[in-house]
Amino acid sequence: MIVNGVNLCRIDRLHEPISGTIHGFGCAAGCCALCRENPVLADVDVSLRSVRAGASDAMTPGERRASFSLASIFALRMLGLFLILPVFAIEAARYPGGQDAALVGFAMGIYGLTQALLQFPFGLVSDRLGRKRVIVFGLLVFAAGSFVAAWAPTLTWLAIGRGVQGAGAISAAVTALLADQTRETVRTKSMALVGASIGLMFAVSLVVAPLLVAFTGLGGLFALTGSLALAGVAVVIWWVPPEPRQHKNPPRGRLTEVLRLPALLRLNFGVFVLHAVQLAMWMAVPALLVQAGLPREHHWWVYLPAVLGSFLVMGTTLFPLERRGYLRAVFLMAIGLTTAVQLGLWLVAMSEPTVAVLGALLWVFFCGFNVLEASQPSLASRVAPAHARGAAMGVYNTSQSLGFFVGGVTGGWLVKHWGVQGLFGACFSVMLVWLVVAWPMRAPEVGAPGLVPKAG
């Protein structure tokens, strides 16, 4: 190939004996005699290396297939779960035993508890027996729990069904498989697809759940949830790419090995706080919107634009800045934004809320939340030892599930005893602690030429 009258094939052959280090298309500008003597060749070399580095940021067809298929599994499963959240408390009260508010809360929260208990074992087993086997088994367990809940004649059976649902704890195995099938340079983008699918399913559920439950009842929603889980099994079997060969008989990941890494401990604490705050704040946000004059059936007017707008912000900030080595700065900024939102909601709760202010705060919240949702699992998979990645993601997802459980229980208690202001004051304090804990973090090196974390 000829560029500016220079034979690039000849350049590549001349570089090898002089530079001592082959960088694909050549050496860095000025690192060998040939480039020092000919500035045109130096310019060509820099240009070609830039093209190669840029190409490494693009997903391969296999990575795109893995990312979209595994994100769809999360989407199908999380849509089923989120469809229940906006209507569960009201519909569960109609079951025998539903007058007991404590039992309703237990039936709601037991899902997070059983999932938290089994996330690590599922992740550890996926290191030994294979990711796809564990994912299929977990989806079948989740579907079985959904159908039990759909059939449930009493609140007790409803709680049993919810507990069995949580026992299908596949998040760690799915996340580990996604990490297995993507390079570090595109992994945050892949994880962002998962985060985006979760956020989008949450927004969709807020819109359609009240409409569906009017026709099908709570039992019908659980039956739909089970059907979506079975659709996820089909996705695993026929769409998800085959597992990497090296995971057939990998070395065993140990719990002690992943619990003594400070970087992982910080991320585990962070995902616990993030999801505890997310669930806790939704104990009060709907009431604030009603207080601002927006009827419950119209809350999606605020939720949906906030979520979709946050995706746009994430796509135009997270990926470009990560490629430039500023992942740590973006990560800490996202924590800061989410912390500021809790302070803003605390101030709004002490005055007369307006739909415009609440909508702006929720948009900022989702901007920070989606960045954290995309980057945290990516960081966890990158700092974990490769042979113990499933175990590490199991601990990570256990922390996430415990956050859901603790956030729901604690959020309700705070609203009951300290009011909405007490809830957001507590959320602000916990987020501030997380910001302090996360501050010493360093973004891991990425296996791409020329990419060095500038803010880590």
Of 411, 335, 408, 324, the closest CA to residue 370 belongs to: 335
Q: State whether residue 29 is helix, strand or coil.
A: coil
| Beta pairing partners, 3 | 6
Residue 29 pLDDT exceeds 50:
no
Q: What is the pLDDT of residue 161?
A: 93
According to DSSP, residue 7 is labeled E
At 95 the pLDDT is 87
Residues 6+ apart with CB under 8 A from 210: 86, 87, 296, 297
In contact, 205 and 85? CB cutoff 8 Å: yes
The kind and range of the H/E element at 3 are strand 2-3
**Residue found by looking up tokens 């057939």 in the block:** 248
pLDDT top residue among 55 and 368: 368
- Contact yes or no for 29/6 (Cβ under 8 A): no
Which H helix or E strand runs over 2?
A: strand 2-3
Distance CA 254, CA 32 (A): 46
Least confident stretch, 76-80, 316-320, 400-404, 420-424 = 316-320
* Residue pLDDT, tens place only, 240-296: 888 776 543 444 556 677 777 888 899 999 999 998 898 788 777 877 888 888 887
pLDDT at position 143: 94
Task: Please state the pTM of the whole predicted model.
Answer: 0.69
Model confidence over 97-128: pLDDT tens digits? Answer: 777 766 776 777 788 888 888 877 887 788 78
In this structure, what token pair is assigned to residue 223? 């039956």
Would you give the DSSP letter of residue 60? P
pLDDT at 246: 58
Q: Which of 59, 275, 315 lies closest to 178, judged by CA? A: 59
